[in-house]
């Protein structure tokens, strides 16, 4: 049974990813930061999908928190390893650059970009030794195109895209792939303050996407069938011009 770690698995896109990977037979490590009840609900969904998993709390923006949680999981599970990593947890703290404060910059970069480095670094060695690994990073249209009010978020997501392309070239020989998925507007807590009626006018498919529409691509990229796809950035955005 493949073991998959999904960061930010408690809600939104992460929850749908946990459900999808559970349906493909993975054992799911559901990471959350603050919302334990939501993480437990995701675990129930995973079990209803016919698989199993556990919840694992750590703050992806905090390297000590990541190391403590993942090293202690490894100690308790010797002989097992995580072969699917979905770096999904993310936040936005939008502001125009001229008003942006240091916390808005650093919190967004730590949560969306530095988390990729700190988590992937801990897990990549096992994937290389076992000659199988799937890394899927959830980025954003904002990281491809740049969006006003999101200098911090666009920078962080673009950083993950560059890192993914470089990493893919480092680990391909060992049957480890690394790809990005760039969602457009997806209906979750993150976008609940946006007026869908207004924004959908610029989306060819004329609506926001669902978390499941992102998760189905994660399911494919995490599978054996996607073994010849690496270093890619695939958009799931209803045809928004990027
Ligand atoms: P969401 O509904 O706001 O959920 C965020 C998830 O991330 C929650 O599970 C949350 O955990 C977790 N999280 C946040 N900060 C964390 C931290 N420091 N440590 C650990 N977990 C943390 O967001 P979403 O819309 O599903 O977004 C998921 C990913 O897709 C993000 O990377 C986001 O940037 C990206 N994305 C979303 C959209 C969109 O339109 N929704 C578009 C493009 C890209 P708790 O429940 O514990 O708070």
227, two tokens: 């073994």
The reply to whether ligand 1 has any atom less than 6 angstroms from the CB of 154 is no
Is residue 241 very low, low, confident or very high in pLDDT (cuts 50, 70, 90)? Answer: confident
**Residue at 163 is within a domain:** yes
Give the sign of the dihedral formed by CA 164, CA 169, CA 170, CA 172. Answer: positive
**Mean pLDDT along residues 19-47:** 98
Cβ atoms of residues 31 and 5 within 8 Å: yes
Classify residue 216: in a domain, yes or no. yes
pLDDT exceeds cutoff 80 at 242: no
Q: Indicate whether 31 belongs to any domain.
A: yes
| pLDDT tens digits along 114-133 | 999 999 999 999 999 999 99
Q: What mean pLDDT is predicted for residues 185-195?
A: 97
Mean pLDDT on 60-69: 98
Q: Is the C-beta atom of 89 inside 6 A of ligand 1?
A: yes
Which residue's alpha carbon is at the smallest distance from atom 10 of ligand 1?
8
With a 6 A CB cut-off, is 235 part of the ligand 1 pocket?
no
Which secondary-structure segment (H or E) carries 142? helix 141-145
With respect to residue 45, please indicate whether it lies within any of the assigned structural domains.
yes
29, part of any domain: yes
**CA-CA distance, 4 to 6, in Å (whole number)?**
6
Name the closest-CA residue to atom 34, ligand 1. 90
Residue 114, ligand 1, Cβ within 6 A: no
Binning the chain into helix, strand and coil, the percentages to the nearest 5 are 50, 20, 30
The pTM assigned to this predicted structure is: 0.98
In a domain, 242, yes or no: no
pLDDT of residue 5: 99
Q: Is the CB of 150 under 6 A from ligand 1?
A: no
| Residue 241 within a domain | no
Question: Where are the strands (E) in 157-220, listed by range?
Answer: 176-183
What end-to-end distance do the CA atoms of the chain give, in Å?
A: 38
The pLDDT mean for the chain works out to 98
Atom of ligand 1 lying closest to residue 189 CA: 2
**Is a pLDDT exceeding 80 seen at residue 57?**
yes
> How far is the centre of ligand 1, averaged over its atoms, from the C-alpha of 111 (Å)?
10
Confidence at residue 70, expressed as pLDDT on a 0 to 100 scale: 98
Using a pLDDT cut of 70, give the percent of the chain over it.
100
| Residue-range definition of the domain harbouring residue 121 | 3-236
CA of 66 to the centre of ligand 1 (A): 16
DSSP result, 148-197: TTBHHHHHHHHHHHHHHHHHHHHHGGGTEEEEEEEE-SB-SGGGTTS-HH
Cβ–ligand 1 contact at 59 (below 6 Å):
yes
pLDDT of 77-105, one tens digit each? 999 999 999 999 999 999 999 999 999 99
Domain assignment present for 165: yes
- Does the active-site annotation cover 241? no
Total of domains in the chain:
1
CB atoms within 10 A of CB 127: 24
210: CATH: 3.40.50.720
Minimal-distance CA residue to ligand 1 atom 33: 90
* Atom number in ligand 1 closest to CA 111: 18
């Amino acid at each position: 049974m493949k073991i998959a770690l999904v960061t930010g698995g408690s809600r939104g896109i992460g929850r749908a990813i946990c459900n999808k990977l559970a349906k493909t037979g993975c054992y799911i490590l559901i990471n959350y930061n603050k919302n334990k009840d939501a993480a437990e609900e995701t675990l129930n969904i995973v079990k209803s999908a016919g698989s199993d998993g556990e919840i694992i709390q750590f703050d992806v923006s905090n390297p000590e928190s990541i190391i403590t949680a993942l090293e202690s999981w490894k100690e308790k599970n010797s002989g097992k390893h995580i072969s699917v990593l979905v770096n999904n947890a993310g936040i936005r703290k939008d502001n125009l650059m001229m008003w942006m404060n240091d916390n808005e910059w650093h919190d967004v970069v730590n949560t969306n970009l530095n988390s990729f480095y700190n988590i992937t670094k801990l897990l990549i060695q096992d994937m290389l030794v076992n000659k199988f690994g799937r890394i899927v990073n959830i980025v954003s249209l904002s990281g491809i195109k740049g969006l006003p009010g999101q200098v911090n978020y666009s920078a962080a997501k673009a950083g993950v895209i560059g890192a993914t392309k470089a990493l893919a070239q480092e680990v391909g020989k060992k049957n480890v792939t690394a790809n990005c998925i760039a969602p457009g507007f997806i209906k979750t807590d993150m976008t609940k303050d946006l007026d869908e009626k207004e924004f959908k006018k610029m989306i060819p498919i004329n609506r926001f996407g669902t978390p499941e529409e992102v998760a189905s691509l994660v399911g494919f990229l995490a599978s054996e069938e996607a073994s010849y796809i690496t270093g890619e950035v695939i958009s799931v955005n209803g045809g928004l011009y990027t």
